[in-house]
């Protein structure tokens, strides 16, 4: 049995039926299991924490086909599936052939509106996890624990649970800040059901996320001492480093020195690069993995859903690619593949081979959005183990690969970029050595190493290192290339050759359903 924090349908946890986003942050449990029952014992607290974590990896409490969110098909409502759509399908790295699926065509072509169902779903999924955290914290005060006779080591352990829940809430507020800018905001201290959530600003939310992460970094367990799949101090440091690297976008003021400080904390926490890049994305990537700091844990038997790893693997292959070799003998959906920009970044004039380039197919150019074989398929993710065994999978489709949200490689790249951007405390020599650490692993030797690096080198290397891991849109926005006409990809702006789009599309819209339901909210500019 894999040692993961997993969510099972039998857990008696807080179940929230999300229907209108305007009320998401004010919701209480709607099932018959009251909080006094759920939180009666230390085991109950851990089960409730499991639900908070599980809102990453499950769409509902009853396996595949069940959904916590209203207004969206349960199969598409997984966090990473929606996040992938926003962060990858809207960029130069990926495109989806399922133009008949609600919202997909508009994301593919950067023509979305405030009614886009995928963007609404991601917004709601993030708010849903925040809602669970708020409720968990309300039930975890000293007074509540004392009233339930939870004391001693049990109470001390629940303090760690609270810190982890606060980290997860900060992460989801970071997602909302990064993608939507100015979402509604509420914490455990606000009145539930008494008033609609107020809207925050991007700058104010930056300050909140920063303060929460700095508060919990001393309360979380030390790096690499927590259960697998649970957050520790290094996860908070990693998110702080990412937050500071993007501070110019979020607040108008750079924080590159702070990005270097927190990247250094991660780098000094005892993590090392995995010796084999490809093994980071296999079904047993939770085992002997020295690089991943925090991941969403999936299990093809215990926690089935049609998002996450199952989506990432199945949507990237079709029947002609032998799905059995990917650990999904009955899978292969033929949806997502690359735009030519991505494989073109792996062209090396020296002739050396970058082993991160894991593609399949003969046609790089995307001429037809709806044709899966227009563009190379990505073979980076597999439901097989390092030994080549197929991981257990219900129906030969569901997958157990964990999706890393933070890994050491990103800390290296943050350090390098923040140094090039003038951050105090950074060394250009050290930045170059970190950059070359990734290339040495990628090439298997020093043949791909460089003597110097530029910001353009950083952006391209980030694409090679992190493609399809949900980082690309954020990177392109930070570099000023997401909407700008200076950098194009097929069907950017709805034109085959690509075109620049309106700058307001650097932010996604607040869903129209929430704007209608909550008069406190104002739509983002341009929508």
Helix (H) or strand (E) holding 336: strand 336-337
What is the rounded distance in angstroms from the CA atom of residue 252 to the CA atom of residue 126? 25
Rounded to 5°, the CA angle 385-391-393 comes to 160
Torsion of CA 423, 427, 431, 432, to 10 degrees: 140
User: Which of 53-57, 73-77, 126-130 shows the highest mean pLDDT?
Assistant: 126-130
Q: Whose CA is closest to 345, among 475, 242, 458?
A: 458
Q: Whose CA is closest to 359, among 94, 86, 82?
A: 94
Q: Whose CA is closest to 84, among 267, 239, 315?
A: 315
pLDDT digits (tens, 9 = 90+) for 393-431: 999 999 999 999 999 999 999 999 999 999 999 999 999
Give the residue-averaged pLDDT of 304-322: 96
Please report the pLDDT score of residue 28 as a whole number.
39
pLDDT digits (tens, 9 = 90+) for 241-260: 999 999 999 999 999 999 99
Helix (H) or strand (E) holding 96: strand 95-96
Q: Whose CA is closest to 13, among 41, 71, 52?
A: 52
Q: For tokens 């999924």, name the residue.
A: 125
265 Cβ contact list (under 8 Å, min separation 6): 234, 237, 241
**In this model, does residue 8 exceed pLDDT 50?**
no
Residue ranges per structural domain of the chain: 7-219+505-527, 298-401
Give the residue-averaged pLDDT of 137-153: 97
Please report the pLDDT score of residue 63 as a whole number.
63
Q: Whose CA is closest to 400, among 408, 389, 411?
A: 389
Stated pTM of the model: 0.94
R_g of the chain computed on alpha carbons: 22
Rounded to 5°, the CA angle 352-355-357 comes to 100
| Widest CA span in the chain | 69
Which of 61-70, 122-131, 166-175 has the least mean pLDDT?
61-70
What is the rounded distance in angstroms from the CA atom of residue 229 to the CA atom of residue 4? 6
**In this model, does residue 72 exceed pLDDT 50?**
yes
Percent of the chain with pLDDT over 90: 85
Q: Whose CA is closest to 230, among 220, 219, 240?
A: 220
**In this model, does residue 388 exceed pLDDT 60?**
yes
CB atoms within 10 A of CB 91: 27
Please report the pLDDT score of residue 497 as a whole number.
97
pLDDT digits (tens, 9 = 90+) for 455-500: 999 999 999 999 999 999 999 999 999 999 999 999 999 999 999 9
**In this model, does residue 58 exceed pLDDT 60?**
yes
**In this model, does residue 368 exceed pLDDT 50?**
yes
Q: Cβ distance 478 to 246 under 8 Å?
A: yes
Please report the pLDDT score of residue 59 as a whole number.
78
CB atoms within 10 A of CB 481: 18
Task: Calculate the CA 118 to chain-centre distance.
Answer: 15
**In this model, does residue 24 exceed pLDDT 50?**
no
Please report the pLDDT score of residue 347 as a whole number.
80
**Beta bridge mates, 407:** 292
Q: Whose CA is closest to 41, among 152, 148, 159, 162?
A: 148
Q: How far separated are the first and last CA of the chain, in Å rounded?
A: 48
Please report the pLDDT score of residue 516 as a whole number.
96
What is the rounded distance in angstroms from the CA atom of residue 492 to the CA atom of residue 431? 33
What is the rounded distance in angstroms from the CA atom of residue 104 to the CA atom of residue 326? 25
> Would you list the DSSP string of 188-220?
TTSPTTTSPPEE--HHHHHHHHHHHHHHHTTTS
**In this model, does residue 16 exceed pLDDT 80?**
no
The tokens of 208 are what? 């909140």
Please report the pLDDT score of residue 355 as a whole number.
96
pLDDT digits (tens, 9 = 90+) for 348-359: 766 679 999 999
Per this entry, what is the length of the chain? 527
270 Cβ contact list (under 8 Å, min separation 6): 223, 224
Give the class (CATH, top level) of 7-219+505-527. mainly alpha
CA distances from 272 to 260, 278, 435 (A): 18, 15, 14
**What burial class does residue 32 get, using C-beta atoms within 10 Å of its C-beta: 0-12 exposed, 13-18 middle, 19+ buried?**
exposed
Q: Cβ distance 462 to 415 under 8 Å?
A: no
**In this model, does residue 191 exceed pLDDT 80?**
no
Rounded to 5°, the CA angle 207-183-211 comes to 20
Give the chain's mean pLDDT: 92
CA distances from 80 to 267, 312, 323, 336, 519 (A): 26, 9, 22, 14, 29
pLDDT digits (tens, 9 = 90+) for 494-510: 999 999 999 999 999 99
Which of 1-10, 243-252, 318-327, 347-356 has the least mean pLDDT?
1-10
Please report the pLDDT score of residue 176 as a whole number.
98
Please report the pLDDT score of residue 350 as a whole number.
67
What is the rounded distance in angstroms from the CA atom of residue 336 to the CA atom of residue 342? 13
């Amino acid at each position: 049995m894999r040692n993961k924090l997993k969510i099972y349908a039998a857990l008696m946890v807080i179940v929230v039926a999300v229907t209108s986003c305007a009320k998401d942050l004010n919701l209480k449990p709607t099932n018959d299991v009251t909080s006094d029952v759920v939180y009666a014992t230390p085991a109950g607290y851990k089960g409730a924490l499991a639900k908070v974590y599980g809102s990453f990896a499950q769409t509902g409490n009853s396996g595949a086909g069940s959904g916590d969110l209203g207004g969206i098909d349960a199969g598409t409502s997984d966090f990473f599936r929606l996040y992938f759509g926003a962060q990858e399908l809207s960029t130069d790295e990926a495109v989806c052939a399922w133009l008949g699926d609600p919202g997909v065509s508009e994301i593919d072509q950067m023509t979305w509106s405030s009614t886009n169902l995928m963007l609404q779903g991601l917004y709601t999924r993030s708010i849903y996890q925040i809602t669970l955290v708020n409720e968990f914290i309300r039930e975890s005060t000293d007074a509540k624990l004392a009233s339930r006779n939870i004391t001693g080591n049990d109470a001390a352990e629940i303090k760690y649970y609270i810190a982890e829940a606060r980290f997860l809430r900060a992460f989801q507020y970071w997602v909302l800040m990064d993608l939507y800018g100015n979402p509604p905001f509420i914490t455990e201290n606000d009145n539930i059901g008494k008033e609609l959530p107020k809207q925050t600003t991007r700058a104010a939310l930056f300050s909140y996320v920063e303060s929460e992460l700095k508060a919990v970094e001393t309360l979380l367990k030390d790096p690499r001492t927590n259960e697998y799949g649970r957050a520790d101090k290094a996860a908070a440091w990693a998110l702080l480093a990412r937050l500071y690297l993007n501070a110019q976008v979020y607040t108008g003021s750079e924080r590159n020195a702070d990005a270097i400080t927190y990247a250094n904390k991660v780098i000094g926490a005892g993590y090392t690069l995995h010796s084999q890049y490809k093994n980071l994305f296999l079904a047993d990537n939770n085992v002997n993995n020295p690089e991943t700091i925090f991941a969403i844990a999936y299990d093809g038997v215990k926690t089935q859903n049609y998002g996450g790893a199952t989506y990432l693997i199945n949507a990237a292959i079709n029947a002609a690619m032998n799905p059995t070799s990917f650990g999904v003998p009955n899978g292969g959906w033929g949806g997502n593949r690359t735009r030519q920009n991505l494989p073109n970044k792996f062209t090396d004039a020296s002739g050396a081979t970058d082993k991160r380039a894991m593609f399949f197919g003969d046609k790089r150019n995307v001429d037809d959005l709806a044709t899966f074989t227009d563009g190379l398929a990505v073979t980076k993710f597999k439901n097989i183990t390092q030994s080549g065994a197929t991981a257990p999978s219900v129906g030969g489709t569901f997958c157990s690969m964990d999706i890393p949200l933070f890994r050491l490689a990103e800390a290296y790249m943050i350090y390098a970029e923040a140094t090039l951007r003038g951050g105090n405390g950074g060394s250009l020599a050290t930045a170059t050595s970190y950059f070359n650490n990734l290339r040495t692993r990628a090439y298997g030797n020093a043949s791909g190493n460089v003597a110097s690096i530029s910001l353009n080198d950083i952006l391209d290397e980030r694409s090679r290192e992190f493609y399809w891991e949900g980082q690309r849109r954020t990177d392109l926005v930070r570099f000023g290339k997401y909407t700008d006409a200076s950098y194009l990809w097929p069907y950017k702006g709805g034109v085959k050759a690509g075109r620049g789009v309106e700058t307001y599309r650097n932010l996604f819209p607040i869903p129209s359903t929430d704007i209608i339901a909550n008069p406190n909210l104002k739509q983002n500019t341009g929508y």
